[in-house]
Structure 1
Amino acid sequence: MKKWFAVLCTLFLLTACGANDNNDSSNNQKDELKKVTFVLDWTPNTNHTGLYVAREKGFFAEEGLDVDIIMPGDAGADQLVASGKANFGISYQEGITQARVQGVPLVSVAAVIQHNTSGFASPADKNITAPKDFEGKTYGGWGSPVEQSVINSLMKLEGADVEKVSIVNIGDSDFFTAVQRDVDFTWIYYGWTGVEAELRGEEINMIYPTDYTEKLDYYTPVIATNEKMIADDPETVQAFVKAAAKGYEFAIENPSDAADILLKAAPDLDEELVKASQEWLSPRYQDDAAQWGEQKLSVWENYAEWMYDNKLLDQPLEAEKAFTNDFLPTKENK
C-alpha cells in the first residue's frame, strides 16, 4: 500500500510540475510578444470588427504582437498616433490630408472601407431628396469647415444657395433625437445609423456625395501610423497590417461570427444592430479592390484637390507621402 501511495505521490508531483511548466511557458510566450497600442476613433463599432477579430482569433499573436485596443479620449486618435503615444489608430483621409499639409507626419497604411459610405440623412417626411432641397433647412453637424464646403459644392451643382441653409453644431447628439428636435438633416455612416433606421422602421432619405462627384469618394476610415514608426520599426508595421488584413478578411467571409466577436469585446452594443450592420458592411470592406486595405493614389489626389479648391488646405498635398500599400500582405507573405 505504501508503495502505491509513493507512486501516486510521484505521479501527482510530476503532473503538477508539468502544469506549472506549461503555465510558465504560456506566460513567457505572452511576455515575449511585442506590446502595441491601437487607438479607436470612437466607441467600438463595425468599422473596427476586423481588429477585434485579429485579436480574438490570435492573428496578432501569430505575428508576435500583443495589441491593446484603447479609446481615444479627449486627445483624439490622430494626435495620439502622430505623437507616438499610440502606435496605430483609426483615422480618415480628410484628417490625414489636413494633418500632412500642416507638417504632421501621419500615414495611412490601409483603407478599412474601399468607398465612402457616408452621406446626408433626413427623415423621409422632410422631403430632402436632392442637394437643392437643403435650401430653407437646418443642418446639424460637428463643427468642421469640411461640412459646409461639401454642402456648398453639392448645392452649386444644382444652382442652389448654401446661404439659405442654417448650419448648427449638434456635437455628439443622436441622429434620431436631433432630427426630431433640432435639425432637418445631418451626416451619417449608412452602415451604422442607416442600418439602425431600417431596424427601427424609420424611413430616411440619403444623399451620397459620391453620387455627384468622384472627388468625394475618399477613404473613410483608414488605419494610420506615423512616419517615425515606419522608419524605425517597419517589421512591426508589416506584422500589424498583415494580422489586421486577416481579421478583416475573416469578417468579409464570416459576418455573423465576426459580429459575435465584436459583441464579446463590446457587450454593451445592441446585438441586433451589430449583426445587421456587419451583414451590410462586410462586403464593402474590400468591395472592388484587388485586396482589402488597398489604396489608390488617384483617390488621395482627387480629394486633396477638392479640399484645396475649396480653400480647406493652405497648400497642395504631396499625396504619394500620405499613404502606402507597402505593408499590405502579398501572396508570398500571407
Structure 2
Amino acid sequence: MKKGLAMFLALGLCLGMTACGGQTEQTTEGDGLKEVTLVLDYVPNTNHTGIYVAQKSGYFEQHGLKVNIIEPGDNDATTLCAVGKAEFAVTYQENVTYARTASEPLPIRAIAAIIQHNTSGFISRAEDNIQSPKDFEGKVYAGWQAPSEEAVLKAVMAGAGADFSKLTMVGATGSGLESMGDDIDIQWEFEGWAVINDRMQGYDINYMPVKDLDSRLDYYTPVIITNEDMIENDPETVQAFMDAVKQGYEYAIESPEAAANILHEVIPDTDMDFLLESQKFLSDQYSLDSDTWGLMKDEVWDGYTEFMYEYGLIDHTIPASEQYTNQFIK
C-alpha cells in the first residue's frame, strides 16, 4: 500500500471509530435555514474569498442555508467530509485521487475547482541564479515531505536532465523567502500568497511555476468536495451550496477590492495592502480559460492521475468520472 493511501485509511479508521453516529445530522434553524458545515483545507486565505463573500453577503441564507465554516485543525478535511463530519470541504485534486483509489475508497467527489490552473511553483533567491530544475542539483530544498512532493521534484528534474539524488530535501519551517534563511535554496510556494508577499517585502526572487515544467502538473488545487451521500440523497442542498459559493466567487472576480475587504474582516491581522494584491491576482485566476467559475475537465484529472500512477503514488488509475462532477455548476 502506498504511503499516501495508508495515511487516508488510517485517519478514516480513527475518525470512524470516534464518530458519534456516522453522518452529520443536518438541522433546520427556526428561520427555515438548513445548517451544514464546510471544513477548510488550511487557515483562511484568498483561495477561500468567495466562500466568505457568500457568507458575509447573505448568499447562503438566500439559498436556504446556514453554513458553519471551520478550520481542519489536526484533522484532514478530505476524510472529515468522507465520514460525514462535514457536508463539504476544501482540499486538493491529489487528495481526492488518493481517497478514491484507496483499497477501501472514500466516498467523495470534487464538485468545483476554486482555481482553474495550478498557481504554485518553486522560489529561490535571484542571486543564486536557479533558472531551471537542472540547477536544483547540489541545492537544499525545504518542503512538507509528502510522497507527491518528492514525485514532482523527481519529474521536473528528470525533465531537465538533472539527477534527483543530488538534491537534499529537508522539512520547511515556514513560508516564503524569509523562512528559508541561509541554509535553504528552494521552496514550493503559492504565487498568490508567499510569492506576492516576498516581492512586496522587497525580496528579489526567481519563481518557476510547476505547470510550466510538466503539463500534467497543471492540476486543480484547491477544489471543493462533498460526500456521495449528499450527492445521492440531498442534491438540493449541494446545489444550493454551490449556487451561493459560485455567486461569491463571481463577486470576487468582478470586485477584488471589495472582496478583499470582506476577507480582511475574517483575518484582520493580515496586512490589507498585501491582501488586496493577493486578491487581485487570484480574482484573475479563479475562472481563467473557463466558461464559468468552478468547471473541471477530464483531461486535467486524467493527466495528474496518470502522473501519480507513473510515480508510484497510487497502485491503479481510475477515470475522471469517478473523481469529480460538474453537475452542480450551472
Q: Normalising by the residue count of structure 1, what TM-score does the alignment of the two structures yield?
A: 0.88
**How far off is 1:244 after superposition?**
0.3
- Counterpart for residue 121 of structure 1: 123
Q: Distance between the aligned counterparts of 1:110 and 1:282, measured in 2?
A: 16
Task: Please say if 1:132 is aligned against 2:134.
Answer: yes
Contact 2:116 2:286 in 1 (8 A): yes
Task: Please say if 1:87 is aligned against 2:87.
Answer: yes
Cα RMSD, aligned residues only? 1.3
- Counterpart for residue 169 of structure 1: 171
- Counterpart for residue 248 of structure 1: 249
Tell me which amino acid in the other structure corresponds to 2:178.
T
Q: Distance between the aligned counterparts of 1:203 and 1:111, measured in 2?
A: 31
The answer to which structure has the higher helix fraction is: 1
Q: Normalising by the residue count of structure 2, what TM-score does the alignment of the two structures yield?
A: 0.89
**How far off is 1:159 after superposition?**
1.3
Contact 1:123 1:179 in 2 (8 A): no
Q: Distance between the aligned counterparts of 1:91 and 1:260, measured in 2?
A: 24
Aligned residues with identical type, % of pairs: 47
Tell me which amino acid in the other structure corresponds to 1:289.
S
Tell me which amino acid in the other structure corresponds to 2:158.
K
Alignment of 1:8-19 (within 5 A): none
Contact 1:30 1:66 in 2 (8 A): no
- Counterpart for residue 307 of structure 2: 306
**How far off is 1:30 after superposition?**
5.9
- Counterpart for residue 19 of structure 2: none
- Counterpart for residue 96 of structure 1: 96
Secondary structure of the 1:291 match is: coil
Unaligned 5+ segments in structure 1 are 1-27, 330-334
**How far off is 1:192 after superposition?**
0.6
The count of corresponding residues between Structure 1 and Structure 2 is 301
Q: Distance between the aligned counterparts of 1:75 and 1:179, measured in 2?
A: 27
**How far off is 1:29 after superposition?**
7.4
Deviations 1:165-184 (A, max 9, x none): 001122x5232333214411
Moved over 3 A (4+): 28-31
Tell me which amino acid in the other structure corresponds to 2:107.
P
Secondary structure of the 1:231 match is: helix
Alignment of 1:251-262 (within 5 A): 251-262=252-263
- Counterpart for residue 111 of structure 1: 113
Contact 2:126 2:204 in 1 (8 A): yes
Unaligned 5+ segments in structure 2 are 1-27
Q: Distance between the aligned counterparts of 1:138 and 1:203, measured in 2?
A: 19
1:80–1:280 distance in 2 versus 1, CA, 3 Å: same
Contact 2:153 2:164 in 1 (8 A): yes
Q: Distance between the aligned counterparts of 2:219 and 2:100, measured in 1?
A: 16
Contact 1:38 1:86 in 2 (8 A): yes
When Rg is computed on C-alpha atoms for both structures, the one with the higher figure is 1
